[in-house]
Structure 1
Amino acid sequence: MQTESFTLTTALGHRVDAIATTPDDAEAAYVFAHGAGAGMAHPFMAGVAQGLAERRIACLRYQFPYMQAGSRRVDAAPVAQPTVRAAVAWAQGRWPGATLLAGGKSFGGRMSSQAQAAEALPGVAGLVFLGFPLHPAGRPGTERAAHLAQIALPMLFVRGTRDALAEAGPYAELVAQLGGLATHLAIAEADHGFHVLRRSGRSDEEAMEELLDGLWAWTQAWRLPV
């Protein structure tokens, strides 16, 4: 496995750090954007990258400009989306023979899907969302996902059953609205960060393995070779 650290430059001129993890036998690649509150080096992000490498999937993690600058205020879509596009373009050049996936954790997944809905991300064959922030806590709804109807790619939604930003009812409604393109993988007892309570009898490590195995199985179900 090879790990590379480098800098991406967006179309707006923002320079952001990035990390690419490449297994020796990579056959697919995931462009993996971070969530609102933690950057690409967060243990969850690193754990996903490592686990994917063990499953023959390369991973590109990268910062959004606000995180690079140390700000707590997330980027607006006109800033975030060019960052997604810069990351996808780099991944397409680095892994030209791999099946290319894009998405991310929470905010990063939503920015990736908005970019895809606005203008197709070149080379991307599917989208993977880890904790898609469907609605604010305590205010269930599907309005944040309206743009997904404009996407004609297979989409995997990995959701913790205790996720306060993704209650079961609205999620079922979303999956039904998207039809056969949407797959919902529920991680039992996990919250928005995919942590589980000890009293559940499960561990964070078990939840992570279920997430990674489910992602890999989804690529097989869609005949996305890995």
Structure 2
Amino acid sequence: MATSGVKLLGVPPSPFVNRVQISLNLKSVDYELIPENPHCKSELLLKYNPVNKKIPVLVHDDKPICESLIIVQYIDDTWTSSSPSILPSDPHDRAIARFWASYIDDKWFPLLKQLQDAEGEEAKAATVGKITEGVVLLEEAFAKCSKGKAFFGGDSIGYVDIALGSCMGWVKAVEKIANFKILDETKTPALCQWAGTFLADKAVKDVILAPEKLIELFMMMQAQQKPASN
């Protein structure tokens, strides 16, 4: 179902913006993407998100919604006539999906940045260990949530798929930068297969940037952050 009056403030390299894009694509909602530099707050961003002052922001009929997972839930609740449903209908399954999405945001995904910032081999090894432990937990969660189907959401992309899948571009980029396999076919075969299926989906494939592009952007940001030499 196409609709008007939907705007999204953000930039494609952000996995959190990608979540909203994927959700809108799943619901066949037309939207306008308004580029918003997260490091240079525009008046529009400050108007629509004066509290956190960050992307993404979904603006629907001039009413803003902030925080990526909250936006995903809003999209699912608003465009109910468009299938598939993103969140499970069963209350227990919904609670479990929200739990794992929170785990990804609060515990696991931040480890990728910690790995990039880690100084010394010991610190890097400790972070790699935590990332690996987290991936094993997510492999187990996939087995339970998917119930033998292709996605965490079953037959179609769901809430946890969007939460984790939006990170896959940066996961692949970090693998190349750190020379370390995050998704390992020997340890997490189901997640490896899931990642390929997710990234190939028509709602996703034109949203997630290639790891090479993300690495290029990462290197540019690193160069900009270096202090100028005298």
Q: What TM-score do the two structures reach when normalised by structure 2?
A: 0.31
Considering fraction of residues, name the structure with more strand.
1
Whichever of the two has the greater Rg, that structure is 2
Considering fraction of residues, name the structure with more helix.
2
Q: What TM-score do the two structures reach when normalised by structure 1?
A: 0.31
> 1 or 2 for the larger relative contact order (CA 8 Å, sep ≥6)?
2
